[in-house]
């Protein structure tokens, strides 16, 4: 009999739900025992309900699993949630209320003051906000979130720089993959031979979340990092991987060598604890003048490593560079999974 | 017998050379009578030498024209040049020396102090630099250039703003079409499902040219515009049309309404003179939240109009917006053609 | 006051509905006066209800037009229908019943024995089936259809061959554009870097419709052409234009020269009558070894000409070749429009 | 000290050369010790000479290896050759003459009567042709070839059917990936939003090679399989994976069930010998109505398995179906590697 922890997936049929299932297939600590999705899918075997869009096959045990109603009764105590924001806003509190640890990829509660928005390598201590959640005291349940897929790579690239040189201003222009919009998501007629210079609410999320993630836990509150932050978000004809053209201004002086060293040497507790999904190297600086590129570099560190390249002086801010991150792995399912591993390491999963 | 002016095309078989031929087919003032390309093409009929990559057919008279050697003997007095920089650097002076008006799309001489880099709507007066050229006094010949394709749309969008509010800083991140790299240019294995965050020398060109174009003619010299300018250039899987995410800081206060009015009301002498290739409206502000897009908007004003959209406040600079411009029409062949029309209107073509 | 005939469009907001509006903008005979779409769109101005996906702008008068309920009351007497089959099956008879000439692009009634499936150049006489329709005798209304987009190009290429050499067997493998699936249609995650070797019901339609179109009107019936026909349908990452690899076996001997002549010389009554949407040359044989290609040749004859190329011997059947046809122009809206012009020319529109 | 056999790669910098290096990185029998490429690359470290286009990193030992001249002196006795046909025709005989076992992916010598064209699962016994080669008797060297990438998947799908039901006629229409054209290969301007209905010499190769591969070794000769075979080859915007729409006519009766069983049960000596690169299941029938698809299924069996789907009756021949095969793995480097393993198992590598 398995000694792994049972986990459930809310929103199991979507693109991020599929990534959860893929990444959990051989996970040493967690085991999928429960799947929920929309009413339309309820009661059907997973393989039939989901339009599977990954290259690896559906794990055999999951393929046959029946989709449960999206209700806490009968659900395991650890829930990965990959729901649209509007549904998440309603369902996640229900599960937390019923005593579940809700590890959410949704934007619904990310900016709520008592909900930690966490990247374990960056602000792992923010999980202590959990203790302020009313669900926690009532039922033991809680909600932890990870960031938007476009904020994720950016923050991993910024964190070591902020630590060393203190950010004063950041601009980021994204070129985001279509998988970030879910399935069916972006229509092919909209993106073939095209760039869409708009993703609803994305710029606002990037700007807010980046500053919360790099903020400081003061008492019961996160004080957002005080730098100015501006995002411009574009959709491009790429399957997986968000590329970003970033510029930064620091409070302190920095040389190119110091910046690159800050990236390459960046390690944190998840690496020391050897959490199963923690990449050996969270940020890698690529020296080739034309890298990183999504088609070739998106899978670095099994999709959990952020690639950075093209560091050079900026005439307006101080420095500019390119960031690449896998949007459905490090930017979604992998982020939540690492959060769950972090919670377990820190004793929050019992 | 035609009373049109005979023109020749240097580099007639390339992507920009093809656009010249396409745009000149029914031109009221100019008529193609001479084509030159690389040695490999010399002596062959154009239709056989060129790998035609446009949707309209090769004009019948051009199809049969024999490719001449790339030498001034026998060439007409007006030459459109669409050569690689290294070849242009050698050939363009030869043609100017021989008395030709060389209307060049190449980067070779753009930043030379006595060579005008011109957008007629923006800095048409810079053509007076011609009078400083030694070719001019010697043989009557001269060289006039247009900007890089990525600088073109940007400068058209910036010009009315600079005039009204005085630019202090500009950042631009480009998502450039593959046609900008010529033919064969970008390999499909490099761009399918990909973003290439690097185009050799492109950022330098954008930064320098933008400031020269918005600069001021003082005596025999162009004083570059004094604002700070930073560019990041990316290649995306788009056939035609460079999209740019731009941010600006002004010296003077501006409201969104004033900015949009500055764009929509922008007209200049080429419009008043009704030059054949001058678009009725050089810059159009699109109000839909997700426009402009290359797939749908690149052909506005027959590819000569720059589309702008998504004006909104920037947390780091003052304002941000999206710019789209047709890179082989307004950004190359159409630019040179309009320059030639401008030269004619101003009496430089005899 | 306009003397043009008023026409309405059922399904005006979809991809084919948009093409109808685009093609009717400057039509000499017809004028759009009424638009209907799904309940969701009803009562809204067209520009707001439609997600316009074409490069030309929405005609100003249409942009402001209010979407009517999809009911015959108040509709004009000529209706272009671009509805999904399931809805068409219900609505088209209602409009015919109310006395409308329904010129339909839907598959719903195409194979019904008293409904003509017509390409004016190929089987224009089949419209006489109209006289057998019960709607006709009752209210004067009737339904005429055009073929599936993938059958259209094929039949135009086959018709002159069948006439001259009598088809015995035909195989066609299609590579179809995403616009054929409507909007939003094919998800970008499904088609980027991919081929989908399946389009629901498409092969059946191609096989049936091709034989009905090339069939013979005998009394009140169409006798389908007796050749064997097999189709394999694939979706590829192309915006517009269905490419087909075709092979044929004839009853009679044919040389390559005769076949090419049959294509290039093919003209029919619509050409003689100079119907506004009839292409000068319905079929063009391209001699370049690698043509036709959708990206470059789809707009031949304003999208109404079928391009053929690569004629060569087949080791299994007799001959093989490539066919290209614009799927939303000649294969949909343009087909229906030409049918309407044909009906008018033949006195069926009063 | 390694007991692996030293191997060299001719044409190591190209797309197929890169696949060789990737597939040999952890190979249990072979070890790369020598790399050669064009003169331009000679003397440079591999990592600098090659434009690496794969997702995995260049193996560290190979990255530093210096490119040797493409001459037999100093080369190991086993050579994988990934050269253009014109160069292969000159170089491969030189290496065979010098005593090398040349395992070639080139088309140059494939159809030469004493050169085996081999797929170990299909016609492994054809390697006995080696004994007829003059190189063999002179120096011990020889040349063995694998098929064109488009013939490979087809033949693997046909072999079990030919064995069971005897092919009478085959038609295949391909939709081929751009990686099949090498690097830089297909220009992005040629393939974005496009289908190219022509690949030089490809149809001839498919038709000839398929019949040689399914032919019978009679004495010193291969008697080609006597069925009729017709190919039509198209290029599409897919990175890896050739998709083919195939139809067949048999001499014997077959049911769908029997055909599918023939595919799924197909095993051969390479499977029994557990050759390192032999897929467990050479051919897999996929039951989903819309599979196989290159984006999702190309890596089945580590790229060595051929996927088949959509079996259905054909109105012209007997049956039709879709085939998918990885063109640079099973269709090129993996094919040659399996050939080398086969040669070793059969005692041809000393």
pLDDT tens figures, A139-161: 999 999 999 999 999 999 999 99
**Domains of chain D, CATH where assigned:** 5-148+333-345 (3.40.50.720), 149-327 (3.30.360.10)
Mean pLDDT of A156-182: 98
Tell if the CB–CB gap between D54 and A296 is shorter than 8 Å. yes
* A236, A239, A320 member nearest B236 (Cβ): A236
pLDDT at site A350:
79
Kindly give the pairing relationship between strand C319-325 and strand C242-250.
antiparallel
Do D320 and C232 form a contact (C-beta atoms < 8 A)?
A: yes
Determine contact: A193 vs chain D, CB below 8 A.
yes
Condensed to tens digits (0 to 9), the pLDDT of residues C255-291 reads 999 999 999 999 999 999 999 999 999 999 999 999 9
Tell if the CB–CB gap between A55 and D192 is shorter than 8 Å. no
Condensed to tens digits (0 to 9), the pLDDT of residues B291-350 reads 999 999 999 999 999 999 999 999 999 999 999 999 999 999 999 999 999 999 999 997
Determine contact: C226 vs chain D, CB below 8 A.
no
Checking if the pLDDT of A91 tops 80, the result is yes
A1 falls in which pLDDT band (50, 70, 90)? low
Count of A–C CB contacts within 8 Å?
62
CA distance linking residue B52 with residue D137, whole number of Å: 52
Mean pLDDT of A267-291: 98
State percent of chain B over pLDDT 90.
98
Mean pLDDT of B177-193: 97
CA distance linking residue A312 with residue A310, whole number of Å: 6
The question of whether D242 is a catalytic residue gets the answer: yes
Q: Which residue of D has its CA nearest to A189?
A: D193
Q: Of chain A residues 91-110, which have a CB less than 8 A from chain C?
A: none
Tell if the CB–CB gap between C54 and B296 is shorter than 8 Å. yes
pLDDT at site C1:
52
Helix (H) or strand (E) holding B92: helix B85-97
Q: Which of chain D's residues have a Cβ under 8 Å away from the Cβ of A190?
A: none
* Whole-number Cα distances in Å, B100 to B4, B81, B220, B333, C120: 17, 11, 22, 18, 55
Q: Which two tokens stand for residue A330?
A: 């490090």
Count of C–D CB contacts within 8 Å?
127
* Whole-number Cα distances in Å, C209 to A18, C110, C203: 40, 8, 10
Do C42 and C206 form a contact (C-beta atoms < 8 A)?
A: no
Q: Which two tokens stand for residue B263?
A: 């764009």
Q: Which of chain C's residues have a Cβ under 8 Å away from the Cβ of A186?
A: 187-189
C92 falls in which pLDDT band (50, 70, 90)? very high
Condensed to tens digits (0 to 9), the pLDDT of residues D281-333 reads 999 999 999 999 999 999 999 999 999 999 999 999 999 999 999 999 999 99
* Whole-number Cα distances in Å, D136 to A45, C163, C268, D112: 60, 59, 66, 15
pLDDT at site C220:
87
Residue C148: name the closest of C183, C182, C107, C87 by CA: C107
Query: Which of A19, A182, A188 to mutate to probe the C interface, most C CBs <10 Å?
Result: A188
Condensed to tens digits (0 to 9), the pLDDT of residues D138-191 reads 999 999 999 999 999 999 999 999 999 999 999 999 999 999 999 999 999 999
- H/E/C letters for each residue in chain D? CCCCEEEEEECCCCHHHHHHHHHHCCCCCEEEEEEECCHHHCCCEHHHHCCCCCCCCCCHHHHHCEEECCCCCCCCCEEEECCCHHHHHHHHHHHHHCCCEEEECCCCCCCCCCCCECCHHHHHHHHHHHHHCHHHHHHCCEEEECCCHHHHHHHHHHHHHHHHHCEEEEEEEEEECHHHHCCCCCEHHHHCCCCECCCCCHHHHHHHHHHHHCCEEECCEEECCCCEEEEEEEECCCCCCEEEEEEEEECCCCCHHHHHHHHHCCCCHHHHCCCCCCCCCCEEEECCCCCCCHHHHCCHHHHCCEEEEEEEECCCCCEEEEEEECCCHHHHHHHHHHHHHHHHHCCCCC
Do A150 and A201 form a contact (C-beta atoms < 8 A)?
A: no
Compute CA A169 distance to the chain's CA centroid, rounded to the nearest angstrom.
23
Tell if the CB–CB gap between C232 and D198 is shorter than 8 Å. no
User: What value of ipTM does the predicted structure carry?
Assistant: 0.96
Compute CA A280 distance to the chain's CA centroid, rounded to the nearest angstrom.
17
pLDDT at site D350:
78
Helix (H) or strand (E) holding B49: helix B46-49
Mean pLDDT of B4-20: 97
D82 burial type by CB count under 10 A (0-12 exposed, 13-18 middle, 19+ buried): buried
pLDDT at site B224:
98
Active-site position among B149, B162, B233, B326: B149
Do A138 and A115 form a contact (C-beta atoms < 8 A)?
A: no
Tell if the CB–CB gap between C299 and B54 is shorter than 8 Å. no
CA distance linking residue A297 with residue A306, whole number of Å: 9
Do C50 and C77 form a contact (C-beta atoms < 8 A)?
A: no
Q: Which residues of A are catalytic?
A: 149, 242
Mean pLDDT of C166-181: 98
Q: Which of chain D's residues have a Cβ under 8 Å away from the Cβ of A192?
A: 193
CA distance linking residue D15 with residue D20, whole number of Å: 9
Q: Which two tokens stand for residue A278?
A: 């923690």
Compute the C-alpha angle A116/A121/A122, nearest 5°.
60
Mean pLDDT of C201-217: 98
State percent of chain D over pLDDT 70.
99
B1 falls in which pLDDT band (50, 70, 90)? low
* B178, B179, B189 member nearest D185 (Cβ): B189
- Mind telling me how many Å the CA of C72 is from chain B's nearest CA? 33
pLDDT at site C112:
96
Mean pLDDT of D254-263: 98
Tell if the CB–CB gap between B192 and D179 is shorter than 8 Å. no
CA distance linking residue C4 with residue C26, whole number of Å: 11
Condensed to tens digits (0 to 9), the pLDDT of residues B48-91 reads 999 999 999 999 999 999 999 999 999 999 999 999 999 999 99
Condensed to tens digits (0 to 9), the pLDDT of residues A251-264 reads 999 999 999 999 99
Condensed to tens digits (0 to 9), the pLDDT of residues C290-345 reads 999 999 999 999 999 999 999 999 999 999 999 999 999 999 999 999 999 999 99
């Amino acid at each position: 009999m398995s000694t792994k922890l049972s986990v459930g997936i809310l929103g199991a049929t979507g693109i991020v739900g599929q990534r959860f299932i893929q990444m959990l297939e051989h996970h040493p600590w967690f085991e999928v025992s429960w799947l929920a999705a929309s009413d339309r899918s309820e009661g059907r075997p997973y393989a039939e309900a989901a339009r599977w869009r990954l290259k690896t096959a559906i794990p055999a045990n999951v393929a046959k699993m029946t989709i449960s109603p999206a209700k806490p009764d009968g659900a395991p105590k650890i829930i990965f949630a990959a729901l649209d924001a509007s549904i998440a806003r309603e369902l996640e509190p229900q599960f937390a209320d019923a005593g579940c640890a809700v590890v959410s990829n949704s934007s619904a509660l990310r900016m709520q003051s008592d909900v930690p928005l966490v990247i374990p390598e960056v602000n792992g201590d923010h999980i202590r906000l959990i203790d302020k959640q009313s669900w926690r005291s009532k039922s033991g349940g809680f909600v932890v979130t990870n960031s938007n897929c476009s904020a994720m790579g950016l923050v991993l690239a910024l964190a070591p720089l902020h630590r060393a040189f203190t950010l004063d201003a950041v601009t980021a222009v994204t070129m985001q993959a279509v998988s970030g919009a879910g399935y069916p998501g972006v229509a092919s007629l909209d993106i073939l031979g095209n760039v869409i210079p708009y993703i609803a609410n994305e710029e606002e999320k990037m700007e807010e979340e980046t500053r919360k993630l790099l903020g400081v836990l003061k008492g019961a509150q996160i004080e957002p990092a005080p730098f100015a932050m501006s995002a411009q978000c574009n959709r491009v004809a790429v399957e997986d991987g968000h590329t970003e053209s970033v510029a930064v201004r620091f409070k302190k002086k920095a040389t190119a060598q110091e910046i690159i060293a800050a990236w390459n040497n960046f390690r944190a507790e998840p690496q020391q604890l050897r959490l199963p999904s923690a990449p050996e190297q969270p940020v890698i600086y690529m020296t080739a003048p034309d890298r990183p590129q999504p088609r070739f570099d998106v899978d670095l560190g099994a999709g959990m490593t952020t690639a950075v390249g093209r560091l050079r002086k900026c005439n307006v801010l101080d420095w500019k560079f390119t960031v690449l991150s896998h949007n459905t792995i490090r930017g979604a399912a992998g982020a939540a999974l690492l959060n769950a591993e972090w919670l377990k390491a820190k004793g929050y999963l019992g």
